[in-house]
Amino acid sequence: MSRGGSWNVALALAWRQLTILRKNPSLFLPPMLFPLINFTAFAGGLSRLRQIPGFNYGSGYTAFVFVFVLLQSAAFGGVFTGFGIARDFERGFARRLLLASKHRSGIVWGYALASMARWSMVAVTVTIVALLVHMQIGGNGVDLFGMYALALLVNFCGLLWACGIAMRFRSVQAGPLMQTPIFIVLFLAPVYVPLQLLHGWIKAVAKLNPVTYVLEAGRGFISGSPVEVALAFGLVACVVTLLATWALTGLRSAEETAA
C-alpha cells in the first residue's frame, strides 16, 4: 500500500469536507458556540474560585479555564466530524468512498485532516475572544506552539474515537456514544481548580486520567512555566496510537459490510 495513494485519498476527502463547510457556514456554529458558551460560564461565573486558599496559578483564572475550553473544543471538534462520518454512512456516500478508494486508510486520515482544519478556525476564534477579555499570557511563542500542538493532537484523538464509533455503527443514532465518553473523560480532570484542590474520589481518578497531564502541560505553556511536557506528549502519543487502531479496525468493519 503506497503512502502516496493513501495521502491522495486523504487530501481528496479533506477537500470535500472543507467544501461542504464552505457552502454551509452554519455547520461552523455548534463547534464554535459551545466552547464560547463554556468559556463565558467558567471565566465569567467561576472566577471567584481564584480566591480559594491554595489556588496557585500565575496567569489568572481566565487563562486557567481557557486551556480547558481549548482542549474541550478540540476533542468535541473531532466528535462533530464523527457525526458527519455517521451521516455519510446513512446517506450512502461512505459506501461510494469505500468503493472508489484504493487506499482506504486515507479515508480516516482525510476526515482527520478536515477535522483539524475546522478546529483550527474554532481555536482562532476562541483565542481572539480570550484575548479580548484580557487573558494573561505568560508563555512565549514556543510555549504557545506547544499548547496548540497538544490541542491539535487532542482533536485528532477525538476524531479517531468518533470515527471508530461511526464506522462500526454507521448511524447518527450513535452520536451519544461518541460524545458521552469524551465528555466524562474531560470532566474527570481538574477542570475548575488545580489538581491539588480536588478531594476524594475525583482526585484519585484525575491522577489516573491522561487529560489531567495534558491540561497541566497546557496551563504550564500559557503561563510560561511548562510542566510535565514530555509526559503529556507521551500520553497523547499513546492514546493516538490506541485510537488509530480503534479507528482503522472500525474501517475494516465498515469495509466488510460494504463488500
Partner 1 sequence: MNLALHDVGVIAWRSTRRNLRQPAVVFVPLAFPLILMVVNSSGLRAATHLPGFPTKSFISFFLPFSFIQGGLFAAMTAGTDLARDIDTGFLNRLALTPLRGTGLLAGQIGGAMAQALVQGIVYLAAGLALGVHFKSGPAGMVVLVTLALLVAAAWASVGIWIALRTGSGEAVQSQFPVLFFLLIISSMNMPRNLIAVHWFRVAATINPVSYMIEGLRSLVIQGWNAQALALGFGIAITAVAIAMTLASFALRQRMART
C-alpha dihedral sign at 30, 65, 243, 205: negative
Residue 79: CB minimum distance to partner 1, A: 14
Nearer to partner 1, 8 or 125 (CB): 125
Nearer to partner 1, 20 or 99 (CB): 20
Residue 112: CB minimum distance to partner 1, A: 25
Cβ–Cβ < 8 Å for 57, 96 = no
Residue 213: CB minimum distance to partner 1, A: 17
Nearer to partner 1, 196 or 249 (CB): 196
Residue 243: CB minimum distance to partner 1, A: 21
Nearer to partner 1, 2 or 51 (CB): 51
Residue 43: CB minimum distance to partner 1, A: 7
* Residue found by looking up cell 497541566 in the block: 216
Q: Name, in order, each residue with C-beta under 8 angstroms of 192's C-beta and a sequence gap of 6 or more.
A: 42, 46, 49, 65
Cell readout for 151 is: 490541542
Cα distances (angstroms) measured from residue 86 to each of 166, 204, 236: 5, 35, 25
Closest CA to 82 of 47, 111, 53, 60: 111
Cell readout for 76 is: 468535541
Cα distances (angstroms) measured from residue 88 to each of 31, 79, 93: 19, 14, 5
Q: By CB under 8 A, name the binding residues for partner 1.
A: 26, 29-30, 33-34, 37-38, 40-41, 43-53, 55, 173, 175-176, 180, 183-184, 187-188, 190-193, 197-202
Nearer to partner 1, 133 or 142 (CB): 133
